[in-house]
Chain A
């Protein structure tokens, strides 16, 4: 956000940049918004500030930082399927040190689904098979959605 210089309006309307050197390039920072609809720049600034705190913690590695579950405790999660012939919901108590791959295997057995056909999604984040659950921001009672791997066009 440090480098907003000229509005893109200048660029669009072709108003010449005031400079002695007519070859002078005009640098315009990326955060100037072109479209009215995307002009809610304030939100972006807020986001940057929020992000800063998390960024300071070098121990954070995963997509959703910081687990709220103390180690050793078991977690109760609610699983809901968005795929298959009937919507199903199951409660499951899991070990936070379990890998996502293992969990998907178990869920596949319970919901009669091939683990290759779904992803697990918590609060808008898709769980990575190579991760362990404790790397995600998990709380007791959270809903985990079983979502399709829909990549075909």
Chain B
């Protein structure tokens, strides 16, 4: 027991971001990671930084986070490979284009102006290599992407520079509250104590909540990614499809990253996953149909990241029922982009009991 101000459980991007923001506010923080930092969703992420197409509940956070990404080097000491390439959702049919038009109108009615509908000619201007059948799309020109593992390492270094102690290979096994302190039980009879605990355990968030006696029984998925051999540059923005799952981008190195929704299977006991080859094949097919330039490429890497997923595809962010407990997990496959802002929200919730950004839609107990 050594007088920590806060203990953060989970060394993904959300745990690191929360730890960084707690550290910057003067708290003495211990971060405990069961495996290695970035070993799950955060290291596996496609790292798209997207305000485009967000659920209205997430828009204020995504917009605030994009502002932080623009100055990310000021926050974590390096640019994390972040580029404002833009993000486009392609319509393959007139019906899909009409659907995108309705979406943009709805978001504008809420007072947000970042999304824009584009016609066939403008789509070809921003995506010269897109297949001829595509009729238009929806764009946010200031969105972009970063490099996932580089970002994780940058947040770790920044957190450590703010005084956070990061301990890997340290799974939390028990949580007990007494006398205003959480006793956090680790392997080998080790116990650490702090008045504040942050549950940022990703897909394992429900298990950690259970250790504190709180039921937040959300599901999880093993989202699948493919990476091609390097190709000459042919696409700048991140591209999604409207009628089928796809997210697609070309990195500075020429590799093309293909993901966007098809799932393998994950095992929370072991932290391992299994690819689903036929679903990976359909991802490859969708990418090829939208971008014939992929024809001669090879898949050099394929992987999954295990991530918690809420019933409404929204994260769990908020105070626990027990005093001194904050939950922030289950980012449902789109939490990378918002991590810088969510770290601030979590630090505010932990220290002041409320957050500057709207947190109500993410109430941990909304499903029970």
Q: Tell me, yes or no, whether A binds B.
A: no
Give the A-binding residues of B (Cβ under 8 A): none
